[in-house]
Structure 1
């Protein structure tokens, strides 16, 4: 019997691997990152969601002017997508279903790009023992396809160490209570309870307000990182400047936030060593992110599978209690 076939040896190997990951995770400031998907991980709103909206409006409201990209993104922030379609566009239940079908056609036929360097940062983070969660208003199968397709294209396999497929995805699912997704605190409470990760070791990364509201409803100790690399909407940037703990102007800043600085390397005695072989200096927090203080600049029933519900949280204590009961159950 080979060692790999010996259950005792295999268990010892798995245990040792687990201990090594735990040791690496201790080096991480955040043991868990909770990522938004659209416009945080992938460049999808400009290439898929906004064109799908334009396509739907041309079919459902021919002759009516459509919003430009940044103006439409501002509607995702306020009042939120569903109120926008229901109240501003006046879509009824049947039209909402048609709009959703049009959106699904777009998401099925288009593959957005992950932002450059984003997956690579996740690979390194996973190799150091970090846990990766996705919290999104997109459909689960769409998110899974994005991650699995790109990883396959890069020649990565699921069983390999560092494979960045999320540990869990909180997404739109038909018939599932909307309180199990952002802006409600359930995803954060789930991670804390089921994975044993403290609030201050959790970092929520999002480009819009639902992720911020989710984190704040769970605990003020959860760190919120506001993504600024995907769009330049004044109202959204102002909101993030006032409500996020950290601002992320680019993916490099995100990488520096979630990963520990490189270990210092002893200076080489060879004075002719090149810049490429020189040690990378540790990056301080103020260099990796803009810290904020105060205002400093820096569905209707049965429609649970409709996309990207941008809801406002009302009564955080009540939402927190309800979510805690769901986690306990």
Structure 2
């Protein structure tokens, strides 16, 4: 066991959900309420990477605070009725981690209930702890608070933990908490995103199998 705790992001790291759930929800919302706003899937992913999801909606799409609340409700209802498939190989990584006595944590910008539903749908091992979108704003990624709570709950040190994420907020959280970070670049091929990851972590993986080999 290379790390006692693997901290997984959810969307586009564990499950293929942006292309199948989050982006279609975004498109449908904008079509109804802001038809003048159009972004491709690749642009949506790139801007969720940087400047981040909240900044994307507020600053780039120009949604007001009230519209942000409405969009979040729309997204929640859409995500609640859709499930995403896990990337092949993720289940085996998680099962091995648990079998060897390790922990699985999830720190995500999705709601915990949706994360658990996706885990059940894909027969993934139940996470030992989840920090989702329902957490207070100041405790969501990129804030390092979830990592500190994981360390406290499971009596771990920074060297015991690896964060796996496809977006910059996960990287920033890992750096702030002083833990290792693995860039999950197996869902989308966005050159700008990958370049930023390679400049900030030695662990960049283009496939789940590459990541599995790293953990061996």
Fold-level match, TM-score > 0.5? yes
Structure with larger RCO (C-alpha < 8 A, sep 6+): 2
TM-score class, shorter: over 0.9
Q: Distance in 2 between matches of 1:95 and 1:60?
A: 9
Q: Is the 8 A contact 2:52 2:169 kept in 1?
A: no
TM-score when normalising by structure 1: 0.63
| Cα shift at 1:75 | 0.8
Q: CA RMSD in A?
A: 1.4
Residue of structure 2 in register with 1:213 after alignment:
172
Residue 170 in structure 1 maps to residue 142 in structure 2: no
Checking the alignment, whether the CA contact within 8 Å between 1:60 and 1:95 is kept in structure 2 is no
1:183 aligns with 2:155: no
The question of 1:247 aligning with 2:213 is answered no
Equivalent pairs, count: 216
Gaps of 5+ in 2: none
Q: CA deviation at 1:101?
A: 2.3
Rg larger in 1 or in 2?
A: 1
- The 4+ residue runs of structure 1 with deviation greater than 4 A are none
* Unpaired segments ≥5 residues, structure 1: 1-27, 152-162, 261-329
1:226 paired to 2:198: no
Question: What is the Cα deviation at residue 121 of structure 1?
Answer: 1.6
Structure 1 residue corresponding to 2:114, chosen from 137, 142, 145: 142
2:80 corresponds in structure 1 to 108
Please list the CA deviations of residues 209-256 of structure 1 after superposition, one character each: whole Å capped at 9, or x if unmatched.
11111111111xx21100110101121111111112301111112222
Give the C-alpha shift of residue 67 in structure 1: 0.7
Q: Which of 160, 184, 197 in structure 1 is aligned with 2:156? A: 197
Deviates more, 1:65-74 or 1:94-103: 94-103
1:1-329 matches, within 5 Å, as: 28-62=1-35, 64-151=36-123, 164-173=125-134, 176-219=135-178, 222-258=179-215, 260=216
TM-score, normalising length: structure 2: 0.94
Give CA deviations for 1:112-164 in whole Å, capped at 9, x if unaligned: 1100111122112110111000000111111011112322xxxxxxxxxxx71
SS of 1:187's partner is helix
Distance in 1 of aligned mates of 2:139 and 2:68: 22
